[in-house]
Chain A
């Protein structure tokens, strides 16, 4: 292995990325069989698959660096809520379709910009991961912006629901721009980008779509934090109980 292309990457930072992808992927997969139309059912579950695939790649690397002989399944299925480092926004229940789409849009816009920075990482794994994932996230952004415009600039009811979703979700968007401890360490080590300068660019990108959607971008007020440090909403525990049940009841089960 070429050591000049590797920098130190804290395992906690990989988990932060991996857990957010896994939890959001798990949330989206709840739409399987419940999408408002067949095409959207397929779209959301395909997006879920991308996230879960991305989290698998990250967990493999985290397990490798952790060096305790665990694999990606151990990372996903045998950790408790307080060990999870995902952003709170990922664990919020899906709400109505407008709520899910609004979260997808705000998140994809953020993740797209973030992955562009992560692609510059001197760490070979992180840059390769970002280069791969950005191609998928580009489609998520395109898909969700399209729906934000259609629903925001749709009927009075769809507009109302989108405005409501935006107000509900907005206080969870500040967490991306507030680095947690392991993230700060990754930034100091030079392996991760500083998310703070991305805030303005993200806001501009979001605003351009929202204005087409006849929606007003909210002002930044109180922001919920803590997910990246293991302090979660009550929703996560229920999700994990559902997601981890089989591996907990029958450890190492295969079929």
Chain B
């Protein structure tokens, strides 16, 4: 008999297609798992409305469920509550930093962002806070592009939303 915890463990093997160092559970994309008898239901939520990885994520989840011989399953997508980077665990943040991506700041609802003020983001390589934003929009919808003024390396910052 498969338990909800078993499903969570299985889903922890599914990497995020755009940031493969994190899995879809660490990303906070998997919102709920329910097991009723043989039936498994997984609820996911998109990071961004237009996240092009959502279809791949859904297919990857279906595939891993099939691999584990789960016959009766469904993946549902919900918009609410809206995904926030605040759901990312400290362990996930540390993994991002180690891959050279500055992890998202806490408190996603920062009002200072609105009309052009920019946050101070530490360089994931040398930890310097002398960095500047090159572009609010980076290699994927969820990242901004920064440059370190001390080690001179450009780096991705995982925007908080």
Q: Which residues of A contact B (CB under 8 A)?
A: 39-40, 42-43, 46-47, 49-54, 56-57, 124-125, 127-129, 131-133, 135-136, 138-139, 141-143, 145-146, 149, 208-209
Contacts and interface: CB of A to CB of B under 8 A. Distances in A.
Interface of B: 46, 48-52, 78-84, 108, 113-116, 134-139, 141, 145, 159, 161
Given A50-B49, A138-B113, A145-B116, A124 B159 contact: no
B48 A50 contact: yes
B113 A142 contact: yes
17 contacts: A39-B135, A42-B135, A42-B138, A49-B141, A50-B49, A53-B49, A53-B51, A54-B49, A57-B79, A127-B80, A129-B79, A131-B81, A139-B136, A139-B137, A143-B137, A145-B116, A149-B116
A53 B114 contact: no
Contact of B49 (A39, A56, A127): A56
Contacts of B145: 39
A142 B46 contact: no
A219 B58 CA distance: 50
Contact of A141 (B46, B50, B114): B114
Please provide the 6 A-B residue pairs with the shortest distance between their CB atoms, ordered closest to farther.
Answer: A53-B50, A128-B80, A53-B49, A39-B135, A49-B50, A43-B137
A131 B82 CA distance: 6
A73 to B, nearest CB: 13
Contacts of A131: 79-82
A125 B49 CA distance: 14
Among B79, B138, B139, the one with the most A-chain Cβ atoms within 10 Å of its Cβ is B79
Contact of A54 (B50, B81, B82, B159): B50
B76 to A, nearest CB: 13
A53 B48 contact: yes
B50 A56 contact: yes
